[in-house]
Structure 1
Amino acid sequence: MSAQRHDVSDTPLVTVIIASYNHARYIEKSVNSVINQTYSNIELLVIDDGSTDESPAILKQLQEKHGFDLRFQANKGLAATLNDAIERARGELIVPFGSDDIMVAHRIATQVEYMKGKPEVGICSANIETIDQDGRVMGPREQRKRNLPFRRLDFDDLFLDRKPGPMAATLMLRREALDKVGGFNANIRLEDVYIELAIARAGYFIDVLGEVLAQYRDHPTNTFKNGRFMVDNVLKTYEVFRDHPQYEKVCMNFRNSMVLKYANRDKTLTREILAEIPVKYWNKKTLRGIWRLISS
């Protein structure tokens, strides 16, 4: 029995959760990248969240071939879907994974090995390589998160943006940490930012490995390209932690970054954000954003 317990602890069960929504073009490669992991003790839960494209048919074919747990539901959003899946997940490590992204073959094995003997680490992440909608590796400008060095983050590192944060496409969450914070917040649609902050606030570290463990797909419907969605949900997430002494400054710094980011893309949104920033909080990003706004 002792040998058996040793084997289990050396190869803990990892539950990978893929919530799929209208990603028919990408879902097969995403699922196959999990099936083809070098690490074998994986429980794969796939949930189609009310897709209206060909995703359900593709998933049925994949399920018949590989035998993973597949469920279909009316659309309820990612955070609620993840929480439902976590309730029935059996793994001690949980990996929420995008239905448009691709894992490198040794991703799970690498992160499991790293997490061993580090109960203080609630989340393990890694670097990403960015690919386009056709799977081509994108140019150097899009690869800013490919060669970042290892870093350990606590809550203030993340909340105050003192170090580059973890990549959503590479998150591995300790089940104990998830349980401690009550899972994802179903009222916040930017689920990764919330869960990272919540787990770090609970006293865990987030360790980001300095190697590429996933390909992140850049395509027209990426969440980060919806400016209003990003602004509203990041600020809604920060509000959960409003008791932090630098809460107001954090929100203003974020707004300044968004002014600069969207000045050329969404002038209406940029003006709305700018109106919410008192002059005392203006910085170089604000001024550069204003210049872009009036000159473009």
Structure 2
Amino acid sequence: MTSTSDSSQPLVSVIIASYNHAPYIEASILSVLQQNYPNIELLVVDDGSRDDSVARIEALQKIHGFDFRVQANKGLSRTLNETIERARGELIAPFGSDDVMLPERIARQVAYMADKPEVGICAGDIQTIDADGNPSGEPRGLPQRRLDFGDVFLGRKPGAPAPTLLFRREALERVGSFEPEVRLEDLMIELKITHAGYFIDVLGETLALYRVHGSNTYKNYRFMVDNVLKTYARFSEHPAYPEVCARFRNSMLLKCARTDRELAWAMLREIPPRFWRWKTLRGLLRMLHGRG
């Protein structure tokens, strides 16, 4: 799909990299097709799915005519980089194949970024939904905020939800886009872009539905530990680097204390005593006694 009914509006390239999300991929694609913004190109890439994603996407592609390609599995970052190279938009929206955009999302973000060249990424709030699409919980209702590198690296403010990220192509190109060796792509690209001097502005309104289901990445603790620490290591010259790593390890220790004690003990051993906090003690109690 490419809509060019209003060429005075910036072209937005929405990229959906699909991987084994057959139950959700149609809702994701349709939510892009139903945007009320007039100038979008949709590029969908199936990255080696083993379910019936390809058949479902092909059925929609025949009706709507968006760009669709099928490839052997390359991973999300490589797929995004290759697709960005052939995308034509000056604004880029990578979008999860299990998430849903609200109809006004792209229009709202484009209007906001129009006179703010300092904003490399625009984001917004999310509403979580379950595997069947039913709302779960409430949007966080956080106010609009601007994030710089310190805000992201040090966690000084609530972050930018991944399903709402809209990138300025110029910012992506300046930092070399996504990094295939780091499979948790959002944190790394946010740090790189803010480190380059751009801001991330997070709007105080709900722009997307984030689907929570059994295979969400954040539930894979070992994956999170490996990739987040790889990301932080890129900025190891920052004076707060030891503290940032310790804070993350404390958080993961508490999360995995009951479900993955081997990983929890590894986290504990790597936290210098000067960075022990109440979370450290709670995690230790959970590991030893199941309490805390």
Q: How many residues align?
A: 285
Question: Which residue matches 1:24?
Answer: 22
Q: Which residue of 1 aligns with 2:76?
A: 78
Residues 151-190 of structure 1 mapped to structure 2, 5 A cutoff: 151-190=145-184
| 1:253 aligned residue | 247
Q: Distance in 2 between matches of 1:131 and 1:184?
A: 27
Paired letter, 2:124 = A
Q: How many angstroms does 1:277 deviate by?
A: 1.0
1:214 to 203, 208, 231: 208
Unaligned runs of 5+ in 2: 1-5
Name the stretch that deviates more: 260-269 or 229-238.
260-269
Secondary structure at 2:192's aligned position in 1? helix
Q: How far does the alpha carbon of each residue in 1:128-160 deviate from its partner, in whole angstroms, 9 at most, with x for none?
A: 000000101013xxx4x5311111000001100
Letter in 1 for 2:193: I
Q: 1:62 aligns to what SS in structure 2? A: helix
Identity %: 63
Q: Distance in 2 between matches of 1:153 and 1:102?
A: 24
Query: Is 1:66 aligned with 2:64?
Result: yes
Q: What is residue 3 of structure 1 aligned with on the other side?
A: none
Out of 53, 56, 71, the position equivalent to 2:54 is 56
CA contact under 8 A between 2:7 and 2:39: conserved in structure 1?
A: no
Aligned partner of 1:200 in structure 2 is 194
| TM superposition score normalised by structure 2 | 0.96
Aligned match of 1:114: 112
How much does 1:58 deviate?
A: 0.3
Q: Counterpart of 1:286?
A: 280
SS at match of 1:165: coil
Displacement over 6 Å in runs of 4+: none
Question: Which amino acid is 2:276 matched to?
Answer: W
Write the distance in 1 (CA, Å) between the matches of 2:42 and 2:28: 12
Per the alignment, residue 96 of structure 1 pairs with 94
Q: Distance in 2 between matches of 1:129 and 1:268?
A: 33
Unaligned 5+ residue runs, structure 1?
1-6
CA RMSD of aligned residues (A): 0.9
Match 1:134 to one of 132, 135, 144: 132
Shift of 1:8: 4.1
